[in-house]
Copies of this chain bind each other. A is one copy, B any other.
Amino acid sequence: MTCENLFTGIPPQLSEELVTVLCRAKGLRVERIVSEGQRSPDGFWYDQKRHEWVVVLEGRAAIEFDGEPELVELERGSYLNIPAHTRHRVAWTSPTEKTVWLAILYVGE
């Protein structure tokens, strides 16, 4: 049995978000997402079929929820659960460092 590392294998510069699937099973997907200043396009909203539990492990970011005036700002260790079909977008990620997210997308009550 061997292990890998979440914080390795990240290119020095990212022209777009880097998404790596770390674990996949029926009704479950675990992704590492690395951002470097990327954000959702203006007017774009995620509207996902699956629930998403997400944590920021490095860096800083903010998520906007449709109909909520305040952004949810995330730093190292910040986590939240986004129920399916909760419209949201990435308002910003830190442009000066890598933001490493771990996202668990899941089905289920």
Contact = CB atoms under 8 A, between A and B. Distances in A.
Interface of A: 1-8, 22-23, 25-28, 30, 51, 53, 55, 57, 63, 65, 68, 72, 74-82, 86, 88, 102, 104, 106-109
Contact of A65 (B1, B23, B25, B102): B1
A76 B23 contact: no
A31 to B, nearest CB: 12
Given A3-B74, A6-B55, A76-B7, A23 B109 contact: no
A85 to B, nearest CB: 14
B22 A77 contact: no
A77 to B, nearest CB: 4
Given A1-B68, A26-B108, A55-B102, 16 more contacts: A1-B72, A1-B80, A1-B88, A2-B72, A3-B74, A5-B77, A5-B79, A6-B77, A22-B53, A22-B79, A23-B104, A25-B107, A26-B107, A28-B106, A57-B57, A104-B104
